[in-house]
């Protein structure tokens, strides 16, 4: 059962610190959503093959996810509970 992406709770604009961290790393800020519709704010980074990947908890590098262009997550990713993503 797949539902549409549920918007994260307000404020949905990322804070200055995560935007600065993303800029410093050469990435972009994204929202992730798990199977219980809980949102996570994290940093997506480009991979060498032209795609994007991220860690569910960006400052600890826990939970590697490959981001698919259609807003989904690669089923082979470490964090199988993350189901979808969108740019912040």
Answer yes or no: is 10 within a domain: no
pLDDT in tens, 1-57: 556 766 655 546 788 999 999 999 999 999 999 989 888 899 999 999 999 999 998
Answer yes or no: is 11 within a domain: no
Answer yes or no: is 38 within a domain: yes
pLDDT in tens, 65-81: 999 999 999 999 998 89
HEC readout, the chain:
CCCCCCCCCCCCCCCHHHHHHHHHHCCEEEEEEECCCCEEEEEEEECCCCCEEEEEECCCCEEEEEECCCCEECCCCCCCCEEEEEEC
Say how many domains are in the chain. 1
Answer yes or no: is 5 within a domain: no
């Amino acid at each position: 059962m797949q539902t549409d992406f549920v918007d994260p709770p307000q404020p949905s604009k990322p804070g200055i610190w995560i935007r600065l961290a993303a800029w410093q790393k050469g990435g972009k800020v994204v929202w992730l959503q798990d199977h219980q519709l809980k949102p996570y704010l994290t940093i997506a980074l480009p991979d060498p093959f032209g795609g994007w990947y991220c860690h569910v908890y960006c400052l600890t590098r826990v939970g590697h996810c490959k981001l698919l262009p259609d807003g989904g997550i690669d089923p082979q990713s470490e964090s199988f509970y993350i189901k979808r993503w969108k740019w912040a």
